[in-house]
Structure 1
Amino acid sequence: MTGITLTAEQIRNAPAPVRQWIEQEVITSLGLASRTPLAAPPQAAHLVACSVDDMAGVLEHIRGVLPAVNVLFELGRPGISFGQPAVMTFRLMDILHHTRLQDIGQVMTCLEMINRALTEVRKDPSVLFCGFDNEGHCLIAPQTQASIAMLWQTMMERQQAAREHEAGSRVAPAA
């Protein structure tokens, strides 16, 4: 048997799949979980696949609540896909860390706000934006993650174009 030692900083800076593997190994070694393959929780089957337009509508509803906006765009990062049907997983602790919120309760409040906004956008109280597993992960549909990422990319491109247009209009025409 070979052992290795990692600092907290090395673990924190490791890619998400490595952190999740370490997490699973620690949980298993402590006898808190079995080594059975990961399966998507039953609620994952009810997650809606959101379009870019859906996510733009959600953003419009939560625009005035910066923490909720930060949580929404955090879910646009690449996650880990697993299960049938496939879901994207995000550690709640990572969302907490990246958004600089104070506790998981604040993350959950933001996720609930996003879910309520989606029910208003879709005009359907039965839609489910995200779900959760017993290991501290938030689950969303892969299409939803891709739509959030696309919305972010579109917003950044528009912002860049506006900056370039503004910079171009400041330049005095040559005489």
Structure 2
Amino acid sequence: MYLYIKALHVIFIVTWFAGLFYMPRLMVYNAEAGTQPEPAKTILRNQYGIMMKRLWFGITWPSAVLTLILGLSTWHLLGAFPDWLKIKLLFVIGLFVYHGTLHAIARQQWKGNFRYSGQQLRIWNEVATIFLVAIVMLVVVKENMSWVWGLLGLILFVVVLMSAIKIYKLVRTKKQNG
């Protein structure tokens, strides 16, 4: 029974992350649709709004809830609370906070309030990647991970990721201007 619940937990983690990765992309496109002339602006924003709601309420939220329920069930059946799991749970709590921030931004956009630029949303989109890397490393490596090297590796990953975003912005700007 444990392995079936664990397998379902992993499946819903994957679908939850799919939503967490795609939702900010839709938010970027929705925000940048504001630069389009009418009627394209209205048409695009209406379409992105529909896509965002279907993704968020049809896939992302249900997957998050099922991930939580199945994760707690897996933990209960495991019958242990090792150190790596305690740290993983801190990252999972952070991931749910991130999920909540995406929900808040989506609600703002659905109301026509675009507080964040496409570039800001692109950066925010990468937060899920950071959580994914940290959580997977903890789950796979567990007690064999050096906390110092793990933390340094995560910091290095964040630096590389943010540098890639900056480089992408420069290339994109150069293409638009050139």
Q: Taking structure 2 as the reference length, what is the TM-score of the superposition?
A: 0.29
Higher strand share: 1
Higher helix share: 2
Q: Taking structure 1 as the reference length, what is the TM-score of the superposition?
A: 0.29
Task: Name the larger-Rg structure.
Answer: 1
